Amino acid sequence: MENAIKDWRGRSYRPGPVPADRTRMFRLALAAMAAISPLQYGYAALHAGQASGLTLLAIWIACQAAGALPALHLVRRRRLGVRACLSAGAALSGLGLLTAALAPGVLTTGGGLSAPGSGSPVPGAGDLAALLSGGGLLTLAGYAVLGGLGAGLVYGVCGEVVSSWYPERPAARVGLITGAFGYGAVPLLLWAGIAPGLTSAGFLACAVLATAVIATTARHLRLPPAQWWPDDVDPRTHALDAARLRTSPEAVKQFGLAQALRTRTLPALALMLVCAGAVSVFDVIVVAATGAWGALALLVALNGAGRSVAMRAAELFGRRRVLAAVFGSLALGQVLLAVAVQNAAAGTAGGTAGGTAGGTGPGMVVPEATVGTPLLWLGAVAAGLGGGAFYPLLASLVRELFGTEGATEIHAVVYSAKAVAGVVAVTLALTALTAPGGALLAAAALAALPALATPRLRIPGLPATIPL
């Protein structure tokens, strides 16, 4: 290419003017990500009331995590347009939210899972019949499958467009828009706490808003030319930035997907996402079960906001150090929540002999005394800060470990492990029906595993004697 230049590693760049609407594209992508947030966090808090609802949530997570991979592959190769993908995402996401609004068994008081006497604590014939009934099949098709595919399209394409237009700082910018996917559900959760009888109306409003916002985004988002680089940043100087390389060393070569799959590092990253992703979803369900809508909103808000904070910290201290701290915060949150639940249970048992130990709604066996305890709020803070920040950190680690050229496809494979995380989260939630404290301690152990493993991550291709 005539105006292409190369850095010291031989990577090619095509510097060009920054378009006037680059900032607008970023903001629209952020708004689109916020619009699909109620599909995951809103549903987990308000619809995961019985085993059938948990099953639908697991299916949605699987479709969202893995469904967009083929489309993203085609978009990256310019065989499928950004507008077509996002237009489909707008229609499918709106349909998913509409189906969630009309789904049978929308919680109207409190949050959480069905209490003893209101449903089986494990999936049984009744739950299967509910799932396969007319309303259940509608929710399965509209929310779990089509809504999951739509959210996956929006999530994948918006991330690809933003990272392509901000090649000098892709991880930080993508961290900001994925943060919106976390905190975008906060208004719905606050609405559910204020007017629980109007939860369906809240989902309907989200459906209309999501369709409009994502459709508008589809009209304006586009990919830059191949190998584009902003002309106000010298790519050769950027590639030699000592301060950046000190905290974020680069890959020894540009790995393709097939090469990355043959390393030990890629499965390790996927396993980390499974562990932390499962705990993150489980926390929303268990905190919703307390009926403490303020703590739940704080948890979800920090789940999103913590992502951009973590990316900024990673630029200063290194991604692996910050990622280990994030996993540690997530594990600490589980311990605090478990202690809050156990202390409240002991107080309830001692103060009301023979009384109910149920939560505030038709939910998990979580004592009412849990709602206002400081430990619950501290647990929500720690779990929130750790419950979302690992997503952009893992995405940026993929670039650091495997290079930038195949990073999108390699990260899509890592992110698809979230499908397994959904199954693990549902398993934890079902366990929490009868033993919430034990389930939270199991979640703490699950979050601690990647915290211990992160410092052992190595850049593929380097000799074992080089400490990177």
* H helix intervals, 318-417: 319-351, 374-386, 390-402, 407-415
Per-residue pLDDT at 419 exceeds 60? yes
Among candidate residues 138, 442, 368, 414, the one with its CA nearest the CA of residue 268? 414
| β-pair type (12-16, 5-6) | antiparallel
The per-residue pLDDT for range 57-80, each reduced to its tens digit, is 999 999 999 877 888 888 888 888
Predicted local distance difference test score (pLDDT) of residue 248:
76
pTM of the model: 0.88
Contacts of 234 (CB under 8 A, 6+ apart): none
Per-residue pLDDT at 460 exceeds 90? no
**Rounded average pLDDT over 297-316:** 93
Q: Which amino acid is at 258?
A: A
Among candidate residues 167, 181, 179, the one with its CA nearest the CA of residue 234? 167
| Whole-number average pLDDT of the chain | 85
According to DSSP, the residues that pair with 6 across neighbouring strands are 12
Confidence of residue 333 (pLDDT cuts 50, 70, 90): very high
Predicted local distance difference test score (pLDDT) of residue 104:
59
The per-residue pLDDT for range 236-284, each reduced to its tens digit, is 888 787 777 777 777 888 898 899 999 999 999 999 999 999 999 999 9
3-state secondary structure of 44: helix
**Rounded average pLDDT over 347-375:** 54
The per-residue pLDDT for range 377-401, each reduced to its tens digit, is 999 999 999 999 999 999 999 998 9
Per-residue pLDDT at 445 exceeds 90? yes
Per-residue pLDDT at 454 exceeds 90? yes
Per-residue pLDDT at 5 exceeds 60? yes
Half-sphere exposure of residue 327, counting CA atoms within 13 Å on the CB side? 27
Distances 44 to 26, 31, 167, 273, 280 between C-alpha atoms, Å = 27, 21, 34, 18, 11
**Please, what sign has the CA dihedral across residues 162, 165, 166, 168?**
positive
**Rounded average pLDDT over 186-208:** 94
**% of the chain exceeding 70 in pLDDT:** 85
User: How far is the C-alpha of 270 from the C-alpha of 247, rounded, in Å?
Assistant: 22
Q: In the 8-state DSSP scheme, what is residue 14?
A: E
Predicted local distance difference test score (pLDDT) of residue 48:
75
Name the more confident of 210 and 197: 210
**Please, what sign has the CA dihedral across residues 55, 303, 280, 105?**
negative
- Going along the chain from its start, the domains and CATH numbers come out as 21-223+235-456 (1.20.1250.20)
The per-residue pLDDT for range 11-54, each reduced to its tens digit, is 788 899 999 999 999 999 999 999 999 999 999 999 876 778 89
Predicted local distance difference test score (pLDDT) of residue 368:
52
Which pairs with CB-CB distance under 8 Å and at least 24 residues apart come from 348-356? none
Confidence of residue 364 (pLDDT cuts 50, 70, 90): low
Please state the separation of Cα 133 from the chain's center in Å: 30
Predicted local distance difference test score (pLDDT) of residue 161:
95
Contacts of 20 (CB under 8 A, 6+ apart): none
User: How far is the C-alpha of 193 from the C-alpha of 207, rounded, in Å?
Assistant: 19
User: How far is the C-alpha of 103 from the C-alpha of 106, rounded, in Å?
Assistant: 6
Beta carbons of 419 and 61 less than 8 angstroms apart? yes
Per-residue pLDDT at 448 exceeds 90? yes
Half-sphere exposure of residue 266, counting CA atoms within 13 Å on the CB side? 23
Residue that the structure tokens 């003893």 belong to: 116
User: How far is the C-alpha of 391 from the C-alpha of 387, rounded, in Å?
Assistant: 9
Beta carbons of 219 and 372 less than 8 angstroms apart? no
3-state secondary structure of 340: helix
Angle at 274 between CA 340 and CA 446, to 5 degrees: 35
The per-residue pLDDT for range 123-165, each reduced to its tens digit, is 444 555 556 565 678 889 999 999 999 999 999 999 999 999 9
Helix axis angle for 199-220 and 82-102, nearest 10°, is 180
